[in-house]
Amino acid sequence: MEHAPLNPIEEKLVKSDGGGLPKNMIAVAVQVDADGICRHSGLVIGVKGKYELFHYTGKEVKLEPLPIGEWYLHKELEILNADESVGFLHHCQMILDSANPQYGFVFDGSYYNAQGHYVSTNPFGEYTTCVGFCINTITGFLFNVERYFQVEDWGAENLPDWYFDAFMAKNSHLNREQVQPHIRRITPAEYTTSAYLEQLPIRKEKVDELIEDVKAAIVAKRN
């Protein structure tokens, strides 16, 4: 039976352990469950045919060989040339040595600089999610642009009402007024969509234009 041709969005979304990958690549990656829901995010870096996953598990930062059979899909970043992957891997190695994030839905425009150090204009420390961690990593690799995501376009509407109070209860040493404006959620699907965009910083309205197609492609690839 002949398969229908893939649409361009589906075509560029690749099962990470399916083989046949380009030797060099820098890609955003999402882990997808059996229902096609994105559960986790990372970055897949290929250097001369060796592939690694860089991610924040919620407990620790890991740079590890690309896992097999764990349903990662990836999309190469449009904004970077794949042959810059060795430089990107080096950037990840620097972050691996320095980063020490704690889990929290905090998006405040922070990033990891070339030394792998966490840079933020806020005083309350290194809180992030798996998505935020990847955004902060990509941001630190940029030279001419200050931000990968315009995080202020996003809000806390995708978080349950109780989230902020629960976060503050767990991190009672933090100042509520300082933290609250930066509580947001950028989902793994939104993060995946960003890889299709070339204009930086990534704006929510541009993500919204594409996200349903990207979600459909994720479900199609998972089945």
Please select the residue that binds other proteins; options are 3, 4, 5, 19, rule is CB under 8 A: 19
Query: Interface mask (CB under 8 A) for other proteins, residues 86-125, using x and -?
Result: xxxxxx-xx------------------xxx----------
**Residue placing its CB nearer to other proteins in the complex, 178 or 199:** 199
Contacts of 196 (CB under 8 A, 6+ apart): 9, 12, 75, 78, 210, 214
Site for other proteins contains 169 (CB under 8 A)? no
**Residue placing its CB nearer to other proteins in the complex, 83 or 209:** 83
Phi and psi angles of residue 65, each rounded to the nearest 5 degrees, phi first: -55, 145
Residue with the two structure tokens 């349950």: 160
**Residue range at the interface with other proteins (CB under 8 A); choices 33-41, 84-92, 185-193, 203-211:** 84-92
Nearest to 70 by CA among 85, 53, 84, 93: 53
CA–CA gap between residue 223 and residue 63 (Å, rounded): 28
**Residue placing its CB nearer to other proteins in the complex, 78 or 212:** 78
**Residue placing its CB nearer to other proteins in the complex, 105 or 118:** 118
Rg (CA), the chain: 17
Residue 223 Cα distances to 10, 37, 152, 179, angstroms:
13, 12, 34, 40
Site for other proteins contains 28 (CB under 8 A)? no
What single-letter amino acid sits at 10?
E
Please select the residue that binds other proteins; options are 7, 8, 18, 212, rule is CB under 8 A: 18
Contacts of 174 (CB under 8 A, 6+ apart): 124, 125, 168
Site for other proteins contains 143 (CB under 8 A)? yes
Site for other proteins contains 197 (CB under 8 A)? no
Which residues contact other proteins by CB under 8 A?
17-19, 47, 65, 67-69, 79-81, 83-84, 86-91, 93-94, 113-115, 140-145, 200
